């Protein structure tokens, strides 16, 4: 039985869309800094890229707090259960109208493959981008034997890590945009991330799940635990 379930909270949706906007803007200005495109002008591209990077870091800090305050960090705990079935579904089953091997619920929004990919993004790719980006912004070459800022002989390695991370993020976004269209309808997944509601196969106990929405409810939930 399918029911309309409130699965994506307001901050979750805000974080998702703001993160997407910032990543696209960072990619655009980053490509201009590399000389691949020309739109803002090099100096402006550097300034806008740095400003967007700070906004991205602030968003990450709020997202980390929200994930731990609400317990949503548990969504990313990896599991091997149904992992092979999920991979086979994306490679073959999805093209033959096979049933989805896992069932999405409020307490388990991600399938096993998504958990692995999103966890890798959160603990490897995005931290690499942030750390390499900050090193890129604040490095200083040694001057007259003294250290001004950070004593780094060359930013070549930093640049390689930053660029590699950027291409990994772009690859994820391309795949993500495709998978958005693989829901019940072409637009159902997109609509869910706009409204928060999604039509899900639910059991009776799923309907009893409540999702804290306001700050006071979130704090109350944390205190109760």
CA atoms within 13 A on the CB side of 152: 16
Answer for the pair 109, 7: CB distance below 8 angstroms, yes or no.
yes
Q: Longest Cα pair distance anywhere in the chain, in angstroms?
A: 73
How many CB atoms lie under 10 A from the CB of residue 223?
7
The answer regarding whether domain 2-219 maps to CATH 1.10.10.10 reads no
Structure tokens at 52: 């967007």
Residue pLDDT tens, the chain, 225 long: 778 899 999 999 999 999 999 999 999 999 999 888 899 999 999 999 999 999 999 999 999 999 999 999 999 999 888 899 999 998 888 888 888 888 888 888 999 999 999 999 999 999 999 999 988 887 765 555 554 555 566 678 888 899 999 999 999 999 999 888 887 788 888 999 999 999 887 665 444 444 444 444 444 443 343
Domains of the chain: which residue ranges? 2-219
pLDDT of the residue at 2: 77
What confidence score (pLDDT) does residue 165 get? 92
| Nearest C-alpha neighbor of 198 from the set 67, 19, 66, 12 | 12
């Amino acid at each position: 039985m399918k029911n309309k379930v409130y699965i994506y909270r307001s901050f979750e949706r805000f974080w998702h869309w703001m993160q997407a906007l910032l990543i696209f803007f960072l990619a655009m200005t980053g490509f201009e800094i590399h000389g691949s495109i020309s739109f803002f002008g090099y100096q402006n591209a550097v300034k806008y890229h740095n400003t967007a990077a700070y906004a991205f870091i602030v968003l990450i800090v709020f997202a980390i707090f929200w994930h731990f305050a609400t317990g949503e960090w548990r969504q990313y705990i990896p599991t091997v259960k149904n992992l092979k079935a999920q991979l086979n579904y994306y490679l073959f089953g999805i093209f033959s109208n096979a049933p989805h091997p896992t069932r999405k619920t409020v307490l388990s929004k991600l399938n096993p493959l998504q958990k692995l990919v999103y966890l890798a993004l959160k603990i490897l790719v995005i931290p690499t981008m942030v750390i390499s980006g900050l090193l890129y912004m604040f490095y200083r070459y040694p001057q007259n034997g003294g250290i001004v800022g950070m004593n780094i002989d060359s930013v070549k390695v930093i640049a390689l890590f930053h660029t590699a991370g950027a291409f990994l993020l772009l690859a994820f976004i391309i795949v993500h945009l495709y998978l958005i269209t693989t829901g019940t309808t072409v637009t159902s997944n997109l609509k869910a991330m706009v409204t928060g509601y999604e039509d899900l196969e639910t059991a009776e106990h799923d309907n009893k799940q409540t999702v804290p929405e306001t700050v006071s409810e979130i704090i109350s939930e944390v205190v109760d635990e």
